[in-house]
Amino acid sequence: MPVPRAAAAADGPTVAIDIGGTKIAGALVHPDGTMTATTRRPTPRGTDAETVMAAVTEIVAELSRSPLWTTAVRCGIGSAGPVDASRGTVSPVNIGAWREFPVQARIEAELAARGAELPTVLAGDGVAMTAAEHWLGAARGHANALCMVVSTGVGGGLVLNNQLHPGPTGNAGHIGHISVAFDGEPCACGGHGCVESIASGTAIARWALAQGWTPAADASAAGVAVAARAGDPVALAAFDRAGRALAAAIAATATLVETDIAVVGGGVAASGGTLFEPIRRHLASYATLSFVRDLKVVPAALGTHAGLIGAAAAATMLLPH
């Protein structure tokens, strides 16, 4: 007689699926944070919605061949945004074939077809990264934290009172699109002076080039960071401006909801002190009230597998136990 799944494996692994513009990854993530059956596929490009879904199906099929598959207790899906967690759909900027694609229902069907009728959670990558950093990374032990990704774009998420706070559609903490400059330049979102339009890697490189910076080789934000470390004044100014925008947004968030730490990850944060020094310097002039003066800004601690860890952590935090 079959044993009910939940009773058989209350501490079983989480099926984690991480969907990004360049790769789709899957793993079984265990309660101690280790992973097994890790697998990945390149995200199909220039194709239709079903071809992209076929790559997800292959990953689910591969995971289902793990001897631990039958012990899985839930499934977490992390995806590049925008996502609408209230409807289970995604429209990733870098996966043009998917517009309001019902990825959550489709994955539930693939799980069920392999004998795993699991509860699922869909989270945007900023929320997933936040869950990962709170579980195993730099925000561990912090009841109220802002976590952000600064790369091609700027995203983020919130932990409030030890709970992941995705908001109704999974987009709470989307710090890249709050305005820090009244008369700032138009942003792709339709707003003005958004953090992303100043502090993303794309924005840093664009601003530096517009101010007359001449790239030695790499014209991206990484190239600007190299020039800044060599003392190039325009490159330094580009990072100072980005750091100032991030500092204003971090201070505003802390003042609003009393976060005591901001964790910053992503490709631009990988430039280390080049970004963190201006953030911390400017923070002193924005985080001024007594209850935010001890606000810390630290680099993210999780590297390559943060997406899978985050998908699993988001599912664990958001599903009832």
Q: Which is nearer to Zn ion, 234 or 252 (CB)?
A: 252
Q: Which is nearer to Zn ion, 73 or 194 (CB)?
A: 194
Q: Which is nearer to Zn ion, 74 or 177 (CB)?
A: 177
Taking the complex as a whole, how short is the minimal distance between the CB of residue 193 and Zn ion, in angstroms?
8
Q: Which is nearer to Zn ion, 120 or 202 (CB)?
A: 202
CA–CA separation, 39 and 219 (whole Å): 33
Taking the complex as a whole, how short is the minimal distance between the CB of residue 191 and Zn ion, in angstroms?
4
Taking the complex as a whole, how short is the minimal distance between the CB of residue 154 and Zn ion, in angstroms?
9
Q: Which is nearer to Zn ion, 93 or 113 (CB)?
A: 93
Q: Which is nearer to Zn ion, 154 or 221 (CB)?
A: 154
Taking the complex as a whole, how short is the minimal distance between the CB of residue 189 and Zn ion, in angstroms?
3
Q: What is the DSSP string of 248-273?
A: HHHHHHHHHH---EEEEESTTGGGTH
Taking the complex as a whole, how short is the minimal distance between the CB of residue 201 and Zn ion, in angstroms?
15
- Rounded to the nearest angstrom, the gap between the alpha carbon of residue 106 and the centroid of all alpha carbons in its chain is 22
CA–CA separation, 109 and 10 (whole Å): 22
Taking the complex as a whole, how short is the minimal distance between the CB of residue 194 and Zn ion, in angstroms?
3
Cβ 118 vs Cβ 233: under 8 Å:
no
CA angle 150, 107, 101 (to 5 degrees): 65
Which CA distances in Å does 54 have to 103, 107, 121? Answer: 12, 11, 20
CB atoms within 10 A of CB 292: 20
Taking the complex as a whole, how short is the minimal distance between the CB of residue 262 and Zn ion, in angstroms?
19
Within 8 A by CB and 6+ apart from 294, the residues are 260
Within 8 A by CB and 6+ apart from 223, the residues are 205, 215, 216, 217
Number of H helices, E strands in the chain: 10, 12
Taking the complex as a whole, how short is the minimal distance between the CB of residue 202 and Zn ion, in angstroms?
12
Residues that bind Zn ion (CB under 5 A): 177, 187, 189, 191, 194
Which CA distances in Å does 94 have to 46, 66, 101, 317? Answer: 10, 30, 13, 27
Q: Which is nearer to Zn ion, 191 or 267 (CB)?
A: 191
Q: Are strands 74-79 and 83-84 parallel, antiparallel or unpaired?
A: unpaired
C-alpha count within 13 angstroms, C-beta hemisphere, residue 140: 9
Q: Which is nearer to Zn ion, 105 or 189 (CB)?
A: 189
Preceding amide of 102 cis, omega within 30? no
Q: Which is nearer to Zn ion, 66 or 179 (CB)?
A: 179
Taking the complex as a whole, how short is the minimal distance between the CB of residue 197 and Zn ion, in angstroms?
6
Task: Name the H helices within 34-139.
Answer: 49-64, 103-113, 125-136
